[in-house]
Amino acid sequence: MITKRIIPCLDVRDGRVVKGVNFKGLSDVSSPVELGQYYSDNGADELVFYDITASSEGRALFTDILRRVAERIFIPLTVGGAINTVEDFDRVLKCGADKVSVNSGAIRDPDLIYAAAKKYGSQCVVLSADVKRVDGRFTLFAKGGRENTGLDAIEWIKRAVQRGAGEIVLNSIDTDGVKRGFDLEMLSAVCQEVSVPVIASGGAGCAEDFVTLFKTLPRVDAGLAASVFHFGEVSIPQLKAQLRDNGIPVRI
Amino acid sequence: MVAIVDYGVGNLFSLKSSLAYIGEEAVVTSEPKTLERAERIILPGVGAFADAAEKLSGCGLDKTVKALAEAGKPLMGICLGMQLLFDKSFEFGETAGLGLVRGEVKPIEPVIPKDYKVPHIGWNALRFSERGRADGIFKYIKDGDCVYFVHSFAATGCGESLLASAEYGAELTAAVRSGSVFGMQFHPEKSGDVGLKILKAFCEI
């Protein structure tokens, strides 16, 4: 039985984790290496590192950090943020990333998905989509949710899968930060249309939200969150025990 | 010393790092002489079977790896590297493999239920066969431990070689052994502690 994945997401700027986390036993709360190790030791099934650096110096720092993470942490690593070209894929894969997540870069150049999937395989290409309801329609947003593309999100995701995206991270802007649960309606709409793994993102406020997610939508493969894990509102070992007690298969 | 065969397929960074982490000297090489000198060999691989088989034979390493394995040097194939150990694969037409382990590589889609996704991606539990239960390669882990899979094809008809399978609406071959040749369909270098323990056991064989 394949298990449901729990994935913490870490935002990294200039080589440091933004919104430093405060866990007991962590000496450097903003070190991606230490924090990644902490999550890996505490049941995370995969880690997402999101590079929010603006400068090219920061970019080089990020790849150096990634290499140090990959030397010590032996679970799948996904990297996102400022992935615009196949060269960007190459840069992070060489440093130990297993998957690369594309968002605005693929909206600007939809061929990026096909080119990357052809070169590295679909399993390596993750489409991250920021989606918001506009006049009752699921609409795709770019640039970290700031720009309305006017595109129908479901159509966009379907096309991305046809072009070779091997996984979808669906981030609901409507529920993001609200902490009252994942966007089940939006997730359901996407799961009905694609056959690749779907990762839910945006809205987790407590462990119960993950239970509801996997119970209501068995086709969702993973739950991704940032602040609820970082601020200790949800502990991954406790969350997994709760999922297991609810009959949801997890890796303990 | 462990030699990781470099034939232009896949990312070897994590594999090399994981061996370094457990204190094993590892070299990434495409030199037959280095493979001969190594105490054990790992054959990695991601991508498509035919392409990988062609690349491996293109640099002549197929014969070296096969000869060394037949002479008894411990060999571990990982993911596509595992599939290459078999007689043949049916991915995009029929392609011959190294023939070190009996069996054939076939798509998983026809054998799993319709609503199961392909590829089989994620953490799944190992189910040991009777032979697997007794095998030294699993001496540091236990039946039911989870490892990380990413694949659309799987080995079939492995018979006695089967060490472990994974349940995904059907029993998928997860690990095999024939003599000192091991095949792991999952990624030990991405399977956390459990994976590192399998690599450690391999380095003690």
- What pLDDT digit, counting tens, does each position of B142-173 carry? 999 999 999 989 999 999 999 999 999 999 99
Catalytic-labelled residue, pool A45, A51, A88, A130: A130
Asked whether residue A252 is domain-assigned, the answer is no
**Closest Cα partner for A21 from A229, A216, A206?**
A229
According to DSSP, residue A197 is labeled: -
Asked whether residue A250 is domain-assigned, the answer is no
The predicted complex's ipTM stands at 0.90
B145: closest chain A residue by CA: A251
The two structure tokens encoding residue A112: 């990026």
Asked whether residue A251 is domain-assigned, the answer is no
Q: What is the CATH number of the domain that holds A152?
A: 3.20.20.70
Lowest mean pLDDT among A135-149, B44-58, B168-182: B44-58
- A11 classed as catalytic: yes
Query: From the CA of B70, how many Å to the nearest CA of chain A?
Result: 31
What whole-number distance in Å separates Cα of residue A108 and Cα of residue A104? 6
Domain count, chain B: 1
The enclosing H or E element of A78 equals strand A77-80
The two structure tokens encoding residue A205: 């406020």
Chain B contact probe: residue of A7, A69, A74 with most B CBs at under 10 A: A74
**Residue A226 sits in which domain range?**
5-245
- What pLDDT digit, counting tens, does each position of A130-156 carry? 999 999 999 999 988 889 999 999 999
Q: What is the CATH number of the domain that holds B104?
A: 3.40.50.880
Asked whether residue A119 is domain-assigned, the answer is yes
- What pLDDT digit, counting tens, does each position of A18-75 carry? 864 555 666 666 889 989 999 999 999 999 999 987 777 778 888 999 999 999 999 9
Domain count, chain A: 1
